Structure formats: C-alpha cells, structure tokens
Amino acid sequence: MSAKTYPGFDAVKAHGWLAAHKWLLVRRAVQLSILALFLASPLLVPFTGEWILKGSLTSSLILGAVPLSDPFILLQSLLAGHLAAGTALIGAAIVLVFYALVGGRAYCSFVCPMNIVTDASLWLVRRFDLSKGWQPGRETRLWILASVMVTALITGVMAWELLNPVTILHRGLVYGVGYVWTVALAIFLYDLVVSRRGWCGHLCPMGAFYGLLGKVSLVRVSAAKRQACNDCMDCYAICPEPHVITPALRGADGGVGPVILSGDCTNCGRCIDVCSKDVFAFDVRFNNASTDDKFNDKDKMISTDRHAA
Amino acid sequence: MGEPSTSPASAQSRRRFLANMARAAGGVGALSLVVGLFARQAQSLPAQALRPPGAGPEADFLASCIRCGLCVRDCPYPTLSLADIGQDVPVGTPYFVARRAPCEMCDDIPCVKACPTGALDPNLTKIDDADMGLAVLVDEETCLNLLGLRCDVCYRVCPVIDEAITLERHHNERTGKHAMFIPTVHSDKCTGCGKCERSCVLETAAIRVFPRPLAKGRIGEHYRLGWVEKENKGQSLIEGIVDLPDRLPQNSPFNSGATLGGKGK
C-alpha cells in the first residue's frame, strides 16, 4: 500500500476509473436526482400532469398518488402524543418496506443530502491525512436516538425536529436556501476537524434508526469471493463503517458467512468499487452459506452480530 | 451465561455493564434535558405568525406537523411558507403573515387536504369554520373610520362580510352632526384570514389578526349577566323585588318631564 495515493488505486488500474467508481456515481446520481425532482417537478407538470415528487423527505407524494413518510419522524410524533392520519401511516409503511428490502441505511448513502456534505469532508480528511479526532463509541447514536424519543415523549413536541440538521438541510434545499447552509457547514467542519465520520458514523439518530432496520433488511453487501482477498485494505480505507467488514471478510475460518449483516453498513457499495479482486458484490442476506461451513445458520448470525457490535 | 455468576470475570463484566448502562442513561437524560429546554424556548410563536386553517393549539401542532411542506405546495397563493432557521417561528413549520399575504379562504381548502398527518384537521370542511386567529382593531386613534371618514376597506374585503366585521353606527362627537361607522369584529364569525389586515390602507395596519389566545379576553366563570339570566328564566331572578323609579338628568331628551315608569325596558 506504500506506493499508493488513494484507496481504489489498484481497482482503477484493473477495471478502469468508471468501473472503480460505479456505485459512487450511481449514488450521486440518485441523491441529486431526488433533489432535482423535488425542485423541478413544478416545471415538469406540463409533461407529467402531476408533480413527480412533492413535499420533502419527511413526507412526500409521488405523482400525486403514492405517499411516502419518514417513520423516524412519525415515531417522534406518536411519542409526542399524535397518531398521524392514514396517509402518513401508509407512507411510513411504504418507506419501511422499501428500506427493509434495499437496506436500512441505503437511506443514508443514496437519499440523505447530508451524505454529500460528510463525504466531502471525509474526502478531505483522507486527502490531507487529517487526524481522526474524537471518536465516541459507535453506540452513541443509539443513545441519541433514545434521547430523541424520550424528549418527544416528555415535552409533547417533536423537539429533535427543531434541531435535526438532516431534515433542516433538505427542507432548505427544496423550499429555498436561507440560513440552512450554516447547518451543512457546521456538520462539514465537525466531520473535518473534530471527528472523522463524526456525524453519520457516530451521532446521527436518523442513521441509527435506519441502521436498526438494516439489521433485518434483504439486500446486503457480500464478500462472496473473499478467498481472493489480497489484504490490500482498500475496502477498510474507503468504508464509512469499516468495522462491518471484518466478520464477513475475515470470518471464513470461524465459519462466518460472507454477507455483511451489520445494520451499520450503508450499502453504499464503495467496497465493491475499490476492490481490484472483485471480492464484494450486492447479494441477499440469506445467501450466507460459508464455503467451509461447519456451523448451522443460526450460529453464524449470532457470532456475526457479536463481531459487529 | 452457563458460567457461575460468582466468577471474577463475570462479576467484572457485570460491573462494567452496569457502569456503561449508568453512563448511557445519564447521557440520554442530559441530552434529553438540553434538547427539551431548547425546544421549550424555540417553540414560542410570534404574534404575527399565523398557522394554516385547521391547525390546532400550538402545542398539538408541534406534535403533529412533520414539516413536509405539502400544505405550502398546494396553497395556490403565495400565502404559506415554511420557517427557516434563524426565524422566530419553529423551524420548518408552515405559517403566514397576514399583512404580507393573507389566507384567501379557498372553498376546497387544499392545504388541509394536502396534510398527510392530520396536523391540519381534515374535519375542517367549511373554510368559514376556520380559526386561524382573530382580527382586532388595535389602534382606534389612526383607524380612518374612527376619525369619522368612510374608509370601510376592512369591512368590504372581509370574506364573512356583515358577520365577522360589522359597521356599528355611532355619533360623531367632533362634528356633532355626522355618524361614525366603527368596524367591529365578532369573534364567533371571524376566521382570522387576515384580509382586513392585509388591506388596511394605513401605513401600518390599524386592524390586525392575532392568534386567538392573544386576542381574546375571558370573563370570570362566576360572572352572571343579569339580563341574560333574566331572559333565560323568563322573569326576574329575585321574586318580589322593589323596583324604584329611574331618574334621568334634568335636560335629558328622554326626560319627558316626569320620572319614567319603574318597569324600564
């Protein structure tokens, strides 16, 4: 790794730049398309007849027909003492089912606008080899998630939504940028100088919420060809949650299956991109038979979770 | 699990577990406190910010509105907007300022229909039943009608004309021979749409819409209005009361020379 300048160098040599960045490009395209659709829908009404996407990430409407609502927000609302009307509940059910299929934190890597901000920060941290700074425990976000819900319960209002930088940023981008850039800047600087991957990886309660969903979601990254691994460590270097890789990539001896089961994995696909040996690929969680299997499925799940925790 | 609980390793891990739990609980408590206190401070609503039709009391609204902006999108006028950070209105919530753009009182109430959570009450089907606030003639010194002129604009633009705002005729003491037409708001009919405030011709509006708790007084529970009670009962509440003659000033136009009969009106 000494002669290299960045993770994915070998993959670029082996597969070309485009192939070594395909999931990154797909993610950026999805993130920007979602923003663009929220913004451009009124202009497209002459062609589509309806707004393609209306509202914001907390609740929206596709083509005036399909409601989507954020279950994290609705849970706060419920604890604050309001049972949402049917439309929002249907919307939340659709969102829950969707992310239960594509991976809980796929929200973080493919949808959340803050991802672009924190990725930019992480890129700079890597580029200039900055210190990783303060690293609170990974479970911190779960405690913050608990705090958010407790506060809603006690105050009777959605207190977190007065602070939530994710929804504030997205709303600002869609409804007119006022001071929202300050929120993006704050998170950017926090990730840059205080704590590497500090927001998404350690604090964000929304990510923690979708991470819980990710513990059961269907589509997962699998280190299916892990025997081809040449220990270049590029996947660890690029991964926003590197601890999720170990059980799957190194678990063959312990009889652990190759699928990354940790809910922390955002299904961003960058490990797939940067691996010159094509170790990783998207798969479903049930395709988790260890090649040198001596254990039954249940044991594997348990030991994987223990590794991830 | 299978190990005896007295083994040093398990005792140590239990201690560590308990310490971690205590730390986490403390952290959750502290953070909840900070966020909760911030929320208390941040949820006060300035008087000129009005909620869309169908919004309940402010505390309920902040528990039910998920700040998606669908009401803003479906409002056909530039009335509703979402609060930005740094504003006095809780961030992301919809509001309007009557002087800038009042509620146009659409018959089909699209903002209420757009709300996915019911924060804008779907049971509100008649816009005349909306209660966004209450108009108050706050400045009797500058209102043109109170100066004896016939401006009447607030009365004319009111969507519930002659019910929410009426013109009450009073004697103009200054000229001695003219009438004044006082714009008078009736709280049971006023929807708080803000069209009166918007169209007030003064540099700064003399009639303004406030959230109802700010605009409305409340009479003491123990008060009994004699004339109302009398009407309800159909007769005087106290039997056999001695009704003395009413005396009027010497040169009153109602004074026919003698004292009026004791029965009054």
**Chain A 213-272, CB below 8 Å of chain B: which residues?**
none
Q: pLDDT tens-digit profile of A125-159?
A: 988 988 888 888 888 899 999 999 999 999 899 99
**pLDDT of res. A308:** 43
For CA atoms A84, A88, A90, A95, give the dihedral sign: negative
CA distances from B235 to A150, B224, B230 (A): 58, 15, 5
**N- to C-terminal Cα separation, chain B:** 91
B36 contact A CB<8A: yes
Q: How far apart are the C-alpha atoms of B68 and B118, rounded to whole Å? A: 12
Q: pLDDT tens-digit profile of A172-196?
A: 999 987 888 899 999 999 999 999 9
> Which two tokens mark A252?
């063959």
Could you give the dihedral angle defined by the CA atoms of residues A94, A96, A100 and A101, in that order, rounded to the nearest 10 degrees? 20
* Residue B63: closest CA among A161, A72, A12, A224: A161
Q: pLDDT tens-digit profile of A68-120?
A: 999 999 999 999 999 988 899 999 999 999 999 999 999 999 999 999 999 99
Task: Give how far the C-alpha of residue B126 lies from the chain's centroid of Cα atoms, to the nearest Å.
Answer: 18
Q: Side-chain half-sphere of A213: how many Cα atoms within 13 Å?
A: 28
> Which two tokens mark A261?
């089961």
Going by pLDDT thresholds of 50, 70 and 90, the confidence category of residue A302 is very low
Rounded mean pLDDT, A1-5: 51
Cβ neighbours for A264, distance < 8 A, ≥ 6 positions apart: A105, A138, A211, A214, A241, A243, A244, A308
Nearest 5°: phi and psi at A60? -150, 175
| CB–CB contact A157 B43 (8 Å) | yes
Residue identified by tokens 């206190």 is: B37
| CB–CB contact B69 A162 (8 Å) | no
Alpha helices in B43-127 (DSSP H): 58-64, 70-74, 110-114
Q: Which residues pair with A282 in a beta bridge?
A: A221
Q: How far is B24 from chain A (nearest CA, A)?
A: 7
Q: pLDDT tens-digit profile of B89-135?
A: 999 999 999 999 999 999 999 999 999 999 999 999 999 999 999 99
List chain A residues with CB under 8 Å of B116. 55, 59, 61, 67, 69, 84-85, 87-88, 91
B144 residue type, one letter? L
List chain B residues with CB under 8 Å of A175. 69, 72, 81-82
**pLDDT of res. A145:** 95
B148 residue type, one letter? G
Q: Under a CB-based contact definition with an 8 Å cutoff, are residues B185 and B136 in contact?
A: yes
* ipTM score: 0.86
B76 contact A CB<8A: no
Q: How far is A126 from chain B (nearest CA, A)?
A: 31
Residue A295, pLDDT above cutoff 60: no
Q: How far is B174 from chain A (nearest CA, A)?
A: 51
Higher-confidence residue of A260 and B30: namely A260
DSSP state at residue B206:
S
Whether the predicted model's global pTM rises above the 0.80 cut: yes
**pLDDT of res. B35:** 84
Q: How far apart are the C-alpha atoms of B39 and A157, rounded to whole Å? A: 8
Q: How far apart are the C-alpha atoms of A212 and A201, rounded to whole Å? A: 14
B73 contact A CB<8A: yes
| CB–CB contact B28 A161 (8 Å) | no
List chain B residues with CB under 8 Å of A69. 66, 68, 116-117
Residue A303, pLDDT above cutoff 50: no
Cα-based angle B142, B146, B152 (whole degrees, multiple of 5):
95
**Chain A 10-39, CB below 8 Å of chain B: which residues?**
none
For B30, name the nearest residue in chain A, comparing CA atoms only. Answer: A147
DSSP-derived secondary structure for B216-255 = -----TT---HHHHHHHHTS-SSTT---PPP---TT-TT-
A297 residue type, one letter? D
Give the number of beta-carbon pairs within 8 Å between A and B.
Answer: 144
Going by pLDDT thresholds of 50, 70 and 90, the confidence category of residue A5 is low
Q: Under a CB-based contact definition with an 8 Å cutoff, are residues B107 and B83 in contact?
A: no
| Radius of gyration over every alpha carbon of chain B, rounded to an integer in angstroms | 29
Low-confidence ranges of chain B (pLDDT < 50): 1-3, 260-265
